Amino acid sequence: MRTAATPEELRREIAALPSPLVLVPTMGALHQGHLDLMHRAREIAGPQGTVAASIFVNPIQFDRAGDLAAYPQPLEQDLEKCRAAGVDLVFTPAADRMYFPDRSITIIENLLSRHLCGATRPGHFDGVCTVVMKLFNLFRPDAAVFGEKDYQQLAIICRMVRDLDVPVEIVGYPTVREPDGLAMSSRNARLAPDHRADAPRIRRALEGARSLLPLGERSAVPFLAAARKHLEESPFLKVDYLELVDAETLQPVARIQKPAVLATAAFYGEVRLIDNILLLP
C-alpha cells in the first residue's frame, strides 16, 4: 500500500497507479462502515483498478472547537485497516498542506444546506464542499463512495458535482449499523457507557415513526410527533433537530407525496449523533 502526505507526493503516486481510480474520503478513526465503503470501491474499481482513501480531519467543517479537539486520530491503526481492506493508496495530509494560510476561496451551498445539519452547524457544509472539491482536484477519481448515514452530505456533494460539472461518479452506500441498530460512527467510541446503551433508541424512534406508513398516514405531524416522543423519553438525549424533508430537495414537507427522509441529530453530552430513514409513499 502506498501513502502520500503532501499534494506533490499524491500526484506522483497517482501517476504510477492504474485506472479506474475510486476514492473513499474519510476523517479517519475508521470503523466497519468505512471498510465497507472501501470494499464497495474495490467492486467498482475491479481487481486491476485503484482504490484510494484520504484520512484528513478537516478543520474548516467543524462548528465547535471542542468537537475538533476531541475527534480521534489513530492514524497508525487506520493505515493498518486500510491495508487489510486492500486499499492501494492513502493520502494523509496535515492541515497546512491542504490549506494556504491566506486562503480566500470557499465553496458555498445555499439551498440543500438550509435545514437539518446545515441549520444547526453554520459553515459546516461550506467546509465539506471545499475539502471534497480539493480532494477531487487532487485525486481526479473516476468515482467516489460516500455513506448514506450522512444523507445531507451525500445530497450536497451530488448537487455540487452536478452544478459544477465535476467529472466524477458519486456512489452512495447504505448506512452500516451495530447489531443493536446504532449507526456506526467514529463518535460512538466517545459515548459514556450509559449513553451508548441508550443510543439505539435513535434508530428505534425513526423506525417507529415509519410504522405509520402502512396505516395510511401521510401528514408530517404524526411522524415527527411519534419520533420525538420516543427520543425525548431518554434521560440522557437532547434533540438537536428532527425534520421530515423531501429526499431530493431536502426541503421540509407537510405531507409525504414523494420519497421523503426523516432525519435527526441528537446530543449525548458533547457527542453528536445523526441518523435518518427513508419514507416511501
List the one residue out of 153, 162, 107 whose CA is nearest residue 130.
107
Q: How far apart are CA 256 and CA 240, in angstroms?
A: 23
Q: Exactly one of 31, 34, 195, 230 is catalytic; name it.
A: 34
Q: How far apart are CA 89 and CA 153, in angstroms?
A: 24
CA 184 to chain centre: 11
Q: How far apart are CA 249 and CA 54, in angstroms?
A: 28
Beta strands in 86-227 (DSSP E): 89-91, 143-147, 169-173
Question: 262 - beta bridge partners?
Answer: 244, 277
Reply yes or no on whether 34 is catalytic.
yes
Q: Residue 15, SS3?
A: helix
**Torsion over CA: 192, 124, 85, 97 (sign):** negative
Catalytic residues: 34
